[in-house]
Amino acid sequence: MSNLLPRRMSLFDEFFRDLAPGFYIRPLHGDPLPQQIKVDVKENDQAYVISAEMPGVGKDNIHVTVENNVVTIGAEIKQEDAKRDGEKVLHSERYYGQVSRSFALPSDVDESAASAKYENGVLTLTLPKKTAVAGKRIRIE
């Protein structure tokens, strides 16, 4: 019986020795996308200005939609190493991921006048507020 205990500990230790490094290896391309996009939302009299941190994402992989007062920001990332002719891949540390975030603004946005700029890993959205249209009085016949 005493021979089984060291063997079990040995298998247990081998399992965690082999498994644990996978939890602590960082991707070769930098940090993966966060679980949630970090945003700052500011307001002035004319518009909302939103800054969203999205490091390591190409601007073609960022998707923004605005519907009335709901803003949705999403990103898809695919990082992999280039394979050269004659190479055989034995191990690869690449990752794919998607992240998105939706939130409501206090008032509706004029989608036709909205603009977006992506620079140094920060997406900046300028979303003009819809101007309040005065109600038209209907004449009663």
Q: What is the pLDDT of residues 33-42, one digit of tens each?
A: 566 789 999 9
For 31-82+91-128, which CATH class? mainly beta
Please report the pLDDT score of residue 51 as a whole number.
Answer: 96
For residues 124 and 113, give the distance between their C-alpha atoms in angstroms, rounded to a whole number. Answer: 14
Please report the pLDDT score of residue 20 as a whole number.
Answer: 47
Instruction: Decide: 37 and 99 in contact? Cβ < 8 Å.
Output: yes
Please report the pLDDT score of residue 56 as a whole number.
Answer: 77
Please report the pLDDT score of residue 129 as a whole number.
Answer: 92
By C-alpha distance, which of 100, 53, 96 is closest to 75?
100
Q: What is the pLDDT of residues 109-127, one digit of tens each?
A: 998 899 999 999 899 999 9
For residues 57 and 90, give the distance between their C-alpha atoms in angstroms, rounded to a whole number. Answer: 27
Low-confidence ranges of the chain (pLDDT < 70): 1-35, 79-85, 89-95, 132-135
Please report the pLDDT score of residue 73 as a whole number.
Answer: 94
Query: How is the chain split into domains, by residue range?
Result: 31-82+91-128
Torsion of CA 65, 41, 126, 102, to 10 degrees: 0
